[in-house]
Amino acid sequence: MPVAKNTRKIGLGLLGSGTVGEALQDLLFRDLGKRLGADLELEIVKIYTRRPQGKKWYAKHRALFTSSAEEVIDHPRVDILVEALGSQQEKQLQTYKSYIIRAFEKGKSVVTSDKAVLARFGKEIWSAAERCGRELRFEACVGGGIPIIRSLTESFAAEEPESIYGIVNGTCNYILSEMRRSGKSYDAALREAQERGYAESDPKADTAGLDAEAKLILLAGVTFGVYLQPGIVWRKGIEEIQAIDFLYADRKGRCTIKPLAAARREDDVLSGFVAPVLVPHDHFLATIDGATNAIFFKGKRSAGGDGARDWNYVFVGPGAGGGPTAVAILGDVCELARRRGSYRITDSASRYTGQHLATALTGAGKALTVKPADQIAAPFYIRFLVKDRPGIVGDICQTFGKMAINVSEIWQLSHGESELRELAKSHRLSEKPGRMLPFVITLERATAGQIRTALDIIGRKDYLLVEPVWFPIWRN
């Protein structure tokens, strides 16, 4: 295709040639993303990866690859740096942070898909962007290809936010969906997710809720202008859940179990959590299966003479994968590029400057306080597995009663021998099926701290076979 007269070339420097980095190269080298309207041509100038040899596009574009990140960042033809590196290690995240800050100092703006570095070092990174008058875009960090950050910062500027919640980790949703669908154990569903490329060989960042926590930090920052420091929200992984929990959820609670991240504002207090949650079958989130993400935004706004009304929005789409993530990165790149070189964070020509988050991360946020993790309150589901002998249910209920926690219901199912054998296997127990008793107690609204204290007391009893499995029950 001939190049139009007024076409501007924008040079991209790319840090990372993993799933996301290569998907971005696929788009640009295959000319799909190269010509984005007649006015713009995006060109990859340099690519950093530790071992260029063997990378998909190395043979064809050998000169673009380097094993020096600085060479990419400092290259004079790089206008925008795309950071698509991955790690959960503190030292590595520090290095990635220094790359981003170096880019700002060299006069470049940055687009990143790396939520871990932003969640951990967001304050420093944002201050550096402000100091240098550069921009940082991070649409690809949350919800893969779903344009959630842009919507929250741009389209909902007039909304008074009440809550943001949903399924933000496709790996956990895939595992739980498979357990529900086929009755697989947690280990079997995880293995399958790994075989299909939905889970890493070390899946802990996903299954322990760290990935969802990083996304929640960004969502809450953009929505409420509050920076939830890593470790401050209540976080529970999905690793304890077993197939039997889906039986109780379905047959007794008419619910399923979904991996949720949520931040909710009540007056001047913001509470956030990441946890598996018992969700009613008739809630839209219950229908979101596999690696798909779904994020709800609930706001309030003055609706003419009707006064304030609640509004619910839901965003659904591919929450991960190289392709959708690369598309989200390119969306950010195009927006930056179309500003004709004026990438300043204070540029009033654009509404989309991540202003809420900038305020949150630089510490000038609104006076919202963050609820301590132990005070997160909800109704709870607790599944016990005990030695089958009389008096145990009563003893447990008494303990809750002493802690002023109200028991709502006691759920018991009759289990066949093979079901119990499977349960013992998934908990790595040698107990004979006939000597095991599973049951569920649901509790009225209590705090996570109260439940933990009660379970500490119950944990000292000799009748427990495994640690109780507990998580919240969804209430709108």
Cα(414)–Cα(158) distance, integer angstroms: 53
Contact positions with ligand NAP (CB under 6 A) in 33-52: 49-51
Report if residue 25 touches ligand NAP, rule: CB under 6 A: no
Nearer to ligand NAP, 16 or 33 (CB): 16
Distances (CA, A) of 365 to 330, 358, 405: 29, 9, 35
Closest CB 207 distance from ligand NAP, rounded Å: 15
Report if residue 169 touches ligand NAP, rule: CB under 6 A: no
Options 18-26, 258-266, 369-377, 400-408: segment touching ligand NAP (CB under 6 A): 18-26
Q: Find, among 331, 359, 333, 367, the residue nearest to 130 by Cα.
A: 359
> At 62, phi and psi to the nearest 5?
-50, -45
Nearer to ligand NAP, 95 or 359 (CB): 95
| Residues facing residue 163 across a β-bridge | 264, 298
Q: Specify the amino acid at residue 425.
A: K
Interacting residue with ligand NAP among 82, 140, 167, 199 (CB under 6 A): 140
Closest CB 470 distance from ligand NAP, rounded Å: 29
Nearer to ligand NAP, 48 or 343 (CB): 48
Closest CB 52 distance from ligand NAP, rounded Å: 8
Closest CB 116 distance from ligand NAP, rounded Å: 6
User: What does 216-235 look like in DSSP terms, one character per residue?
Assistant: HHHHHHHHHS----TT-SEE
Cα(115)–Cα(126) distance, integer angstroms: 13
Interacting residue with ligand NAP among 11, 13, 19, 42 (CB under 6 A): 19
The contacts of residue 30 (CB under 8 Å, 6+ apart) are none
Nearer to ligand NAP, 116 or 243 (CB): 116
List the structure tokens of 391: 């008096």
Report if residue 122 touches ligand NAP, rule: CB under 6 A: no
Closest CB 85 distance from ligand NAP, rounded Å: 4
Interacting residue with ligand NAP among 11, 13, 17, 427 (CB under 6 A): 17
List the structure tokens of 164: 């943001």
Contact positions with ligand NAP (CB under 6 A) in 72-91: 84-87
Cα(321)–Cα(324) distance, integer angstroms: 6
Cα(325)–Cα(105) distance, integer angstroms: 26
Closest CB 19 distance from ligand NAP, rounded Å: 4
> Are residues 104 and 349 in contact, defined by beta-carbon separation less than 8 angstroms?
no
Order of strands across the sheet that contains 109-112? 65-66, 40-48, 8-15, 80-83, 109-112, 136-137
Contacts 24+ apart (CB under 8 A), 99-107: 99/15, 99/69, 99/73, 100/125, 100/128, 100/136, 101/125, 101/128, 102/70, 102/73, 102/74, 103/13, 103/73, 103/134, 104/128, 104/129, 104/131, 104/132, 104/134, 105/132, 106/73, 106/74, 107/132, 107/134
Interacting residue with ligand NAP among 11, 13, 16, 225 (CB under 6 A): 16
Report if residue 321 touches ligand NAP, rule: CB under 6 A: yes
Report if residue 426 touches ligand NAP, rule: CB under 6 A: no
> Torsion over CA of 300, 304, 305 and 311, rounded to 10 degrees?
-30
Which one from 115, 184, 215, 258 is the annotated catalytic residue? Answer: 215
Report if residue 320 touches ligand NAP, rule: CB under 6 A: yes
Report if residue 173 touches ligand NAP, rule: CB under 6 A: no
Interacting residue with ligand NAP among 20, 40, 45, 279 (CB under 6 A): 20
Is residue 215 part of the annotated active site? The answer reads: yes
Closest CB 170 distance from ligand NAP, rounded Å: 8
> Are residues 415 and 445 in contact, defined by beta-carbon separation less than 8 angstroms?
no
Site string for ligand NAP, 272-311 (x = CB under 6 A): ----------------------------------------
Report if residue 21 touches ligand NAP, rule: CB under 6 A: yes
Report if residue 18 touches ligand NAP, rule: CB under 6 A: yes
Interacting residue with ligand NAP among 92, 350, 355, 453 (CB under 6 A): 92
Catalytic residues: 215
Task: Please give the residue ranges that form the binding site for ligand NAP (CB under 6 A).
Answer: 16-21, 49-51, 84-87, 92, 113-116, 140, 144, 320-322, 325
